[in-house]
Structure 1
Amino acid sequence: MSKHKNRVLNFGAGPSLLPEKVIEQLQQSLWNFQGSGMGLLEIYHRSSLFDEVMEELEYRFRKILKLDESSHIFFLPGGASFLFAAIPLNFLKKDQAAGFLHSGYWTDKAIAETKRIGEARLLASSEADQFLCLPTLPTATDTKDVCYIQYCSNNTIEGTQWHSLPRFENTPVVVDMSSDILSRELDFNQFDLIFGGLQKNLGAAGIAVCVIRDSFLQSSNKGLPIFFQLSAHLTAGSRLNTPHTLGLYLCLLMLRWLEDQGGLIAIGEENRRKAEFLYEYLDQSSVFEAPVREADRSHMNIVFDLKPEHKEQEERFLSEAEDGGFLSLAGHRSRGGFRASLYNAQSFDSVRALTLFMEKFESKIKA
Structure 2
Amino acid sequence: MGRIYNFGAGPSMMPLPVLEQAQRELLDYKGSGMSMLEISHRNALFEEVNDQAQAHIKQLLGMDDSWVVMFMGGGASLQFSMIPMNFLTPGKVAAYAITSTFSEKAIKEAHKVGKAVEIYSSKATGLDRVPRPEELKLPENCAYLHLTGNCTAEGLEYFDYPDTGDVPLIVDMSSDILSRPIPLDKFSLIYNGAQKNIGPAGVTVVMAKKEFLKGRDPQLPTMMNYETFADHDSTYNTPPVFGVYLVDLMSQWLLDQGGLGAMEKRNRAKAKLVYDVLDAHPGFYRGHAQKDSRSLMNVTFNLPSKELETRFVAEAKEQGLAGLKGHRSIGGIRASIYNAMPLEGAQALTDFMENFWKNNR
Contact 1:91–1:221, Cα closer than 8 Å, also in 2: no
Aligned counterpart, 1:121: 117
Measure the CA separation in 2 of the matches of 1:99 and 1:184: 26
Q: Percent identity?
A: 39
Question: Runs of 4 or more off by more than 4 Å in structure 1?
Answer: 136-141
Measure the CA separation in 2 of the matches of 1:312 and 1:226: 50
Structure 1 residues 1-367: aligned runs within 5 Å = 6-137=2-133, 142-285=138-281, 286-307=283-304, 310-366=305-361
Query: 1:333-360 CA distances to partner (integer Å, 9 max, x unpaired)?
Result: 1101000000000011111111111111
Please give the secondary structure, in 1, of the residue aligned with 2:196.
coil
Compared with structure 1, are the counterparts of its residues 148 and 142 closer, same or farther at alpha carbon in structure 2 (3 Å cutoff)?
Answer: closer
Please give the secondary structure, in 2, of the residue aligned with 1:314.
helix
Compared with structure 1, are the counterparts of its residues 363 and 326 closer, same or farther at alpha carbon in structure 2 (3 Å cutoff)?
Answer: same
Amino acid across the alignment from 1:346: M
Measure the CA separation in 2 of the matches of 1:229 and 1:27: 35
Measure the CA separation in 2 of the matches of 1:291 and 1:24: 36
Measure the CA separation in 1 of the matches of 2:205 and 2:218: 21
Please give the secondary structure, in 2, of the residue aligned with 1:38.
coil
Contact 1:183–1:271, Cα closer than 8 Å, also in 2: yes
- Deviating more after overlay: 139-148 vs 37-46: 139-148
Segments of 5+ residues of structure 1 without an aligned counterpart are none
Query: 1:228-270 CA distances to partner (integer Å, 9 max, x unpaired)?
Result: 1110111111111111111000000001100111100000111
- Cα displacement (A) at 1:153: 0.5
Amino acid across the alignment from 2:352: F
Amino acid across the alignment from 1:12: G
TM-score, structure 1 length as denominator? 0.95
Measure the CA separation in 1 of the matches of 2:135 and 2:317: 47
Contact 2:197–2:338, Cα closer than 8 Å, also in 1: yes
- Cα displacement (A) at 1:222: 2.3
Measure the CA separation in 2 of the matches of 1:101 and 1:201: 23
Aligned residues: 360
Measure the CA separation in 2 of the matches of 1:38 and 1:215: 38
Segments of 5+ residues of structure 2 without an aligned counterpart are none
Compared with structure 1, are the counterparts of its residues 174 and 141 closer, same or farther at alpha carbon in structure 2 (3 Å cutoff)?
Answer: closer
- Deviating more after overlay: 16-25 vs 278-287: 278-287
Compared with structure 1, are the counterparts of its residues 317 and 255 closer, same or farther at alpha carbon in structure 2 (3 Å cutoff)?
Answer: same
Please give the secondary structure, in 1, of the residue aligned with 2:289.
coil
Contact 1:61–1:255, Cα closer than 8 Å, also in 2: yes
Measure the CA separation in 2 of the matches of 1:165 and 1:211: 17
Amino acid across the alignment from 1:131: L
Query: 1:112-140 CA distances to partner (integer Å, 9 max, x unpaired)?
Result: 11111111111111111110111354668
Amino acid across the alignment from 1:328: G
Contact 1:132–1:291, Cα closer than 8 Å, also in 2: yes
- Cα displacement (A) at 1:94: 1.2
Compared with structure 1, are the counterparts of its residues 234 and 329 closer, same or farther at alpha carbon in structure 2 (3 Å cutoff)?
Answer: same
Measure the CA separation in 1 of the matches of 2:160 and 2:195: 24
Amino acid across the alignment from 1:343: Y
Contact 1:124–1:137, Cα closer than 8 Å, also in 2: no
- Cα displacement (A) at 1:144: 2.1
- Cα displacement (A) at 1:104: 1.1
Measure the CA separation in 1 of the matches of 2:236 and 2:44: 17
Measure the CA separation in 1 of the matches of 2:115 and 2:134: 18
Measure the CA separation in 2 of the matches of 1:238 and 1:89: 19
Cα RMSD over matched residues? Answer: 1.4
Measure the CA separation in 1 of the matches of 2:136 and 2:346: 42
Query: 1:284-330 CA distances to partner (integer Å, 9 max, x unpaired)?
Result: 114212131100000000001113xx543222111111111111101
- Cα displacement (A) at 1:187: 2.4
- Deviating more after overlay: 256-265 vs 315-324: 315-324
